[in-house]
Amino acid sequence: MSEPSRETWHRRVIEHRSALLAILTTVTVSIGGLVEIVPMYAIPTDPTEPVIDPYTPLEVAGRDIYVREGCYNCHSQMIRPLRAETLRYGPWTRAWEYKWDRPFQLGSRRIGPDLQRVGGKYSDDWHWEHLKDPRSTSFGSIMPPYPWLETDKVDPADVAASLTALAHLGTPYADTSEAGASKAMAEQSAGIVERLAGKGVTAAPDLEAIALIAYLQRLGTDGKRILSEAK
Ligand code: HEC
């Protein structure tokens, strides 16, 4: 069977001329870009936009662990303004909720659920069990276990370094010292350790899992609170 002739005008005039094809492709793709970019700059930003508090030192430590372990490879942190998403995850994510997210953890795939509003969804001890062995809380989960988070400790020097870097980028941290970070982390982790103890889990306050739980429990909570107050 011979190849049917497809010498259409499009092929003759455009596709056979690579330079012209490149230019027209650029123009076409730019239209798609402009449709998204122009409104973003044209719509005035709301000066009453809420400003949320920066992450605490313990949450910064947890966030660094989240990045180190590559949790973003399976989890997104962005709820799209679509009904199916808001029914499952809650209010869609607003831009101001990312105010202190450096770097962003939007993610690019959802192998697991979106985590942008996971804060408060589960108890601390649920997270503790889930991190150690996801299949113990979630039947058939394909999330890998992270048992080392429950033996390895957070180094306050690393946290102080992160706080210093974030302060340099504009996050208003008054105290970026190692001593300051240690003190703030001890205060916040005590609450988590106590709640875990209430469920029969004995955990040292400086474990990596405690920091990660603090971070997870913070996610999306400011937005949820502010958006429900605005209603
Ligand atoms: C290989 C992909 C994968 C990786 C990597 C991964 N997860 Fe998951 N995660 C999942 C899947 C799948 C689920 C759903 C089943 C379950 O609950 O375990 C899930 C569920 C969760 C949930 C419960 C979400 C909800 O709303 O029910 C949390 C919290 C979570 N993961 C945190 C993490 C953290 C923190 C890390 C990094 C330390 C991580 N995950 C790494 C796949 C992954």
- Structure confidence by residue, pLDDT tens digits, 108-153: 999 999 999 999 999 999 999 999 999 999 999 999 999 999 999 9
Residue 5 has pLDDT above 90, yes or no: no
The CA 218 to ligand 1 mean position distance, Å, reads: 16
Q: Name the residue at shortest CA distance from atom 37 of ligand 1.
A: 71
Nearest to 220 by CA among 103, 114, 118: 118
Q: Name the residue at shortest CA distance from atom 19 of ligand 1.
A: 112
**Pocket lining: 117 vs ligand 1, CB cutoff 6 Å:** no
The CA 112 to ligand 1 mean position distance, Å, reads: 5
Of 5-9, 79-83, 100-104, least confident by mean pLDDT is: 5-9
The CA 200 to ligand 1 mean position distance, Å, reads: 23
Q: How many CB atoms lie within 10 A of CB 153?
A: 12
**Pocket lining: 112 vs ligand 1, CB cutoff 6 Å:** yes
